[in-house]
Chains A and B, each alone.
Chain A
Amino acid sequence: MESPVLKTENFCAFFGANQILKNISLEVTRNKLTAMMGPSGCGKTTLVRCINRMHELIPNATVSGRMLLQGEDIYAMNPILARRKIGMVFQRPNPFPTMNIYDNVIAGYKLNGIRIDKAGLDGIVEESLRKAALWNEVKDNLYKKGTFLSGGQQQRLCIARALAMKPEIMLLDEPTSALDPKSTAHIEELMIELKQTVTIILVTHNIAQAARTSDFTAFIYLGELVEFGPTKKLFTVPQDKRTEEYLTGKFG
């Protein structure tokens, strides 16, 4: 079997004395979509924010355990370099309001002062927007402000912005929770297409969304990884009673 892109070993996260994640150990497979599912406040968002080291930006936040990206310890890396290798898309679309669409896509290069010639940048912009299924809608308006797009388009712009950095892994933190059903469907289609080429971790509290899009599912409850496995298996024959109860709507 191929080595996992991301691997956590006994990973714990804290806010002060409050333990948010308890001994999470899991492996994320290359070019698959892994869904983190669980009720609100279970720690799934904290887990993905630990992957790109955004968790530690909050005062008093600490972690323990190991988190390996391609076998390299993320917590031994420079956090800034780690974040460049790990793309993230947030709950609410957050394109940069002062930049046009073109600059938003290459924001990762521009803000970091990475110099590439114009032709190279043009290529990155087109490729990223095509991958994010936004090219056809915006190709004539590349120099308009990103904030004039609709919510769903803005979110795809944010996906393009993350893709432009050619990340090893993409973290999508409830990317559809602020969107209408039509835009949600669009983003879900996009995720299924993207996982051919990118490893994706999707945080969702929507059971149906996890079932529709993911290859593997992790069920997290009260900071514990209750069950982790292929989505089909987890949804049809859950091993843990809590998973079964969550899937059948007894709580959550």
Chain B
Amino acid sequence: MQRDKFLFRLLKDRLFKTAVSIFSFCSILPLVFILFYITKNGIAVINWQFLTQLPKPVGESGGGISNAIVGTLMLLVVACTLAVPLGISAGIYLAEHKTGKLSYLVRLCVEILHGIPSIVIGIIAYVWIVKPLRTFSAFSGGIALAIMMLPVIVRTAEETLKLIPETLKEASLALGVPYYKTILKVVVPAGLSGLVTGIILSIARVAGETAPLLFTAFGNPFMNLNLFKPVNSLPLLVFNYAASPYPEWHGLAWGASLVLVVFVLLLNFFAKFMTKKWKVRF
């Protein structure tokens, strides 16, 4: 009787440990399958023309996605130009003012903003920018993406700067360095790896966003370098071409997916590498 109970407990223990290992292994599988499937379908169309040419009209084979690659880069540049200064400044403020009404409010709003569905942000950007300007544009798409990047940048900047020892700031202030120079020349450089990592991860987050671009960047089958004209982007191209009835376009959509996934993966690896390489020892 006693011995049976002991064996039963041992069995439960084993079962639990095995279950946890199996489930944790399962969490690797989605990524592996996605990568495998996208590579299998997309790799065939990828070549130099694919990256440098414009899409061909229906019925012609070949063609590329250069307009979407350029469009995505334009959108990301606009988004970063807006979100990085804003997000880093807010992060500095939050790290410097741990309590206080404004900090509380900013933290709360940033958290809620993080949870707002991307399609809603797209609609807002449409109402605010596309309507008054009377045209879909890279500019409006960039703003929508900037709004999505902002919470990630603010939070990572705050967390990074909070970890920088107070004594470092004191050392600088005691040398008679004004507050703003202390922040810009001592505190920010000490947290640079964390700040840059946050920015890169936020870029990775929005690079694949489709919904906020539907009513803003809109998509464009041609090459466009004008900020105030509609542009194509990788996720928009995938969305439009995958839903089309033409097999040639399906091929382009697979290829574009692969390019997008590889881009995001590279950003993530780069962020990991930066965190290690630029780590500051206190």
B167: A residues at CB distance < 8 A: 90, 92, 94
A111 near B177 with CB under 8 A, answer: yes
A104, closest chain B residue (CB): B171
B176 near A83 with CB under 8 A, answer: yes
Q: Measured between alpha carbons, how far is A113 from B178 in the docked complex, in Å?
A: 11
A88 within 8 A of B: yes
A83 near B174 with CB under 8 A, answer: yes
A-B contact count (CB 8 A): 73
- A residues 146-161 with Cβ under 8 Å of B? 147-148, 158, 161
A71 within 8 A of B: no
A200 within 8 A of B: no
A97 near B168 with CB under 8 A, answer: yes
B186: A residues at CB distance < 8 A: 96, 98, 111
Per the CB 8 Å criterion, the residue count for chain B at the interface is 22
* Binary contact readout A52-88 vs B (1 if CB under 8 angstroms, 0 otherwise): 1010010000000000000000000000111111011
Q: Given A90-B171, A96-B171, A111-B185: A80 and B190 within 8 A (CB)? A: no
Q: Measured between alpha carbons, how far is A82 from B178 in the docked complex, in Å?
A: 12
B280 within 8 A of A: yes
B25 within 8 A of A: no
B168, closest chain A residue (CB): A94
A98: B residues at CB distance < 8 A: 186, 189-190, 192, 280
A83 near B173 with CB under 8 A, answer: yes
B176 near A94 with CB under 8 A, answer: no
Q: Measured between alpha carbons, how far is A129 from B24 in the docked complex, in Å?
A: 55
A39 within 8 A of B: no
B178 near A147 with CB under 8 A, answer: no
B165 within 8 A of A: yes
User: Which interface residue of A111, A112, A113, A148 has the most chain B CB atoms within 10 A?
Assistant: A111
A56–chain B nearest beta-carbon distance, Å: 11
* Binary contact readout B255-282 vs A (1 if CB under 8 angstroms, 0 otherwise): 0000000000000000000000000111
A107 near B175 with CB under 8 A, answer: yes
User: Which interface residue of A112, A113, A147, A161 has the most chain B CB atoms within 10 A?
Assistant: A112
Q: Measured between alpha carbons, how far is A81 from B176 in the docked complex, in Å?
A: 6
Instruction: Select B171's contact among A81, A84, A94, A145, beta carbons within 8 Å.
Output: A94
Q: Measured between alpha carbons, how far is A98 from B281 in the docked complex, in Å?
A: 8
Residues of A within 8 A of B (CB): 52, 54, 57, 80-85, 87-88, 90, 92, 94-98, 107-108, 111-113, 145, 147-148, 158, 161-162, 165
Residues of B within 8 A of A (CB): 165, 167-168, 170-178, 181-182, 185-186, 189-190, 192, 280-282
7 shortest interchain CB distances as A-B pairs: A84-B176, A83-B176, A88-B174, A108-B175, A94-B167, A111-B177, A94-B171
